[in-house]
Copies of this chain bind each other. A is one copy, B any other.
Amino acid sequence: MKIAILPGDGIGPEIVAQAVKVLNVLGEPFELETAPVGGAGYAAHGHPLPEGTLALAKAADAVLFGAVGDYQYDNLERSLRPEQAILGLRKQLGLFANLRPAILYPELAGASTLKPEVVSGLDILIIRELTGDIYFGQPRGVRECPDGPFKGQREGYDTMRYAEGEIRRIAHVAFQAAQKRDKRLTSVDKANVLETFQFWKDIVIDVHKEYPDVALEHMYVDNAAMQLVRAPKKFDVIVTGNMFGDILSDAAAMLTGSIGMLPSASLDASNKGLYEPSHGSAPDIAGKGIANPLATILSAAMMLRFSLNKPEQADRIENAVKAVLAQGLRTADIYEAGTTKVGTEEMGNAVVKAL
């Protein structure tokens, strides 16, 4: 089984190194191959997603991704900026289903800015469609405004689009995920304003007929943003489009106060996937050896479960992470008085030991 390792920029290389260490001690015949991506891709080959990196990702059974972005790439033209690598990989690999668990480990309840009773035990799963919507919809650009009171001025424009098949396949992923959990699905839309999301809602209702055991509710995106703050534990699985999912999944991650703990998976139609921590490249702390590697290690666990068909190994890693938390080890981002502060490498070593 071949795994493409794309460390990226900022803290990416440091945290991915710990996940690789963990993968290497599992005793599985994985073949790991590393390639540059993001700013590192641009520095090495003049493009954030170099051809060789894309070819490797396509050939591999799964991709372990660190994070991309660093100050020195901020002023590149948009098509060359690091985050284009993420968008390119999603589109080129057909990774349409983004799974983002927002889980609050009991030991870390204090890290949240929300009151403990509101978030302790939080365990929700946000499923975000990842290859459609306004992210990729054509036409888009800057043009002369063709009508209305601003006719003749310059205007920026983009197109939000969802085709029936695109909505159906993400709805199936969401209903099936709900079946494995508490059997409750919230479909988030803006059907009161957007044609795209009235259509989304209609299709989700239709797919629901195949999953009568799942309770489906519909919620407007503005209300969903409120309910995530008010009573996040009421959710089980949330499914939504690419744009709303971008916003809500980050808000949900931040509710836990420990975004350094949260993995994510982006899957194609045959469960090949890209796995990455939910946090970013944090260039301000890069190279200091203090970044939290656990989200990346837990992303490797998701990879074992969803793409490499090794659920027992995934369980082993997740239990090892719980064990190091129980031992009181904390990186700086989740440190609290009374616990033991450790660096990136010590944390990785502790997980290896707990395995």
Q: CB within 8 A of A157: which of B154, B165, B195? A: B195
Contacts of A150 in B (CB 8 A): 163-166
The answer for the CA separation of A162 and B140 in the assembled complex, in Å, is: 12
A 125-165 binary contact with B (CB < 8 Å = 1; else 0): 00000000011011011100101111001111111111111
Binds B, one of A29-37, A245-253, A336-344, A347-355: A245-253
CA distance A222 to B166 in the complex (A): 23
Q: A196 to chain B: which residues have CB within 8 Å? A: 140, 156-158
Residues of the B chain whose Cβ atoms lie less than 8 Å from the Cβ of A255: 229
Contact yes or no, A160 B159, CB < 8 A: yes
Are B193 and A165 touching (Cβ within 8 A)? no
**Residue on B with the closest CB to A162?**
B156
**Interface size in chain A (residues, C-beta < 8 A):** 66
Residues of B within 8 A of A137 (CB): 157
Q: Is A214 part of the contact surface with B, judged by Cβ < 8 Å? A: no
Question: What residues make up the interface of A, taking CB atoms closer than 8 Å to B?
Answer: 78, 81, 83, 87, 113-115, 118, 134-135, 137-138, 140-142, 145, 147-150, 153-166, 190, 192-200, 221-223, 225-226, 228-231, 243-244, 246-251, 253-255, 257, 259
